[in-house]
Copies of this chain bind each other. A is one copy, B any other.
Amino acid sequence: MELKVTDLSVARGGVPVLEGVSFTLRAGEALVLRGPNGVGKTTLLRSVAGLQPPLSGQVGLDRESMAYAGHADGIKATLSVRENLDFWADVFATDRVGKALAAFELDGLADRHAGNLSAGQKRRLGLARMVVTGRPVWVLDEPTVSLDVDAVAMFAWAVRAHLRDGGMALIATHIDLGLDEARVLNLGPFRARAPEPDDFDGAFL
């Protein structure tokens, strides 16, 4: 299994932000996307995950094999940590809640209402959800925001375990993840150029 992205162009708010992005991700590989603020990492990841249609280009795998985690975690404040994960385990028909809790050291917090977690603990819960999904491709947008050093190490460990099982990971980040084996793709060069001014066609651009 491999994720092959060819010549992908993506737009946000009707304005093209990235053009001609291509990469291939094979089983057991991780790719780190880098680039300055506003270059279009979030937009690219949402397109890859199938949440928004790309302007042009192909994503080789369909959304059925991806698990996406964005800036927001989808955590229900009034459910306990375990209930939150149980729900996703049911939806994805897997039984990895115990594994996920262990991977992010959430056992001690399992019965706490998720609303009462600190910023970093919430983030850990959000990442634990990825383990629960059991999907081969993890699409992660700035996963280590608010995490302390230990938690970043947990995250790196979880990603490595996932890769070892033949998974893939596509991660956008600004900071060091401790995943030295991951390839890095800098998105700076793919910034969309302004189109010709008088190229006034059907798409108004």
**Choice from B13, B36, B118 contacting A38 with Cβ under 8 Å:** B118
| Segment of A93-101, A145-153, A159-167 in the binding face | A145-153
B174 and A148 contacting across the interface, CB-CB below 8 Å: yes
In the complex, the answer to whether A37 meets B119 with C-beta atoms within 8 Å is yes
- In residues 124-158 of chain A, which contact B (Cβ within 8 Å)? 124, 142, 145-151
- A149–B174 touching, CB < 8 Å: yes
Interface core residue of A116, A147, A175 (most chain B CB under 10 Å): A175
Using Cβ atoms and an 8 Å threshold, which residues of chain B touch A124?
Answer: 37
Docked-complex contact B148 and A36, CB < 8 angstroms: yes
Query: Chain A: residues with CB nearer than 8 A to chain B?
Result: 12-13, 35-38, 40, 42, 71, 116-121, 124, 142, 145-151, 174-175
A119:B146 contact, CB within 8 angstroms: no
Interface of A is mostly: loop
* Total copies of the chain: 2
Question: A175 CA to B147 CA in the complex, in Å?
Answer: 9
Distance in Å from the Cβ of A193 to the closest Cβ of chain B?
Answer: 17
Determine whether the beta carbon of B42 is less than 8 Å from that of A118: yes
A147: chain B residues at CB < 8 Å are 37, 174
Shortest beta-carbon distance, A66 to chain B, in Å? 20
A71 touches B119 (CB 8 A): yes
Contact status of A150 and B36, CB under 8 A, knowing A145-B145, A175-B175 = yes
Closest chain-B Cβ to A151's Cβ sits at a distance in Å of 6
